[in-house]
Amino acid sequence: MNLVKPFINIKILGAATALPKVTPLTNLDIFNLHPLTKLLPDLVKNRLAQSIVSQYGYTQRYMIRTPGKLVNEIEASSETLAKECVQNAFKQASKNIDFFIHGTTTTTRY
């Protein structure tokens, strides 16, 4: 099988990150909030939390919507965070920017 290897000549002029202005949640925090895992014994939740760290390296995450809490008008959305990233990238760039590549780690729900 021949794999197509595109020739992409991209010069990165800047990069930016925008995170919600909230305290990050640990894996254990998320297990304690999620309806399917919050009733598990603490030992099980701790082991599950540690397995996520060992398999994926995630120790904490920023969440736009916290499970079990009402949505509030001033909370960030993925759209507002993307706009903030673009504004931050413009501040860093020394030349005109031709296009943006936007990436997110948004999960299906929590």
CA distance 100 to 110: 26
Q: What is the mean pLDDT of residues 57-74?
A: 70
With beta carbons less than 8 A apart as the criterion, state whether 81 and 4 touch: no
CA distance 64 to 40: 25
Q: What is the mean pLDDT of residues 34-39?
A: 89
CA distance 79 to 82: 5
Q: What is the mean pLDDT of residues 58-64?
A: 82
Does 47 have pLDDT greater than 70?
yes
Query: Model confidence at 110, in pLDDT bands (50, 70, 90)?
Result: very low
Q: Which residue has the tokens 């929590």?
A: 110
9 to each of 12, 13, 54, how far by Cα in Å?
10, 13, 36
Residue in 44, 69, 79, 66 with CA at minimum distance from that of residue 110: 66
Does 69 have pLDDT greater than 70?
no
Q: What is the mean pLDDT of residues 7-36?
A: 80
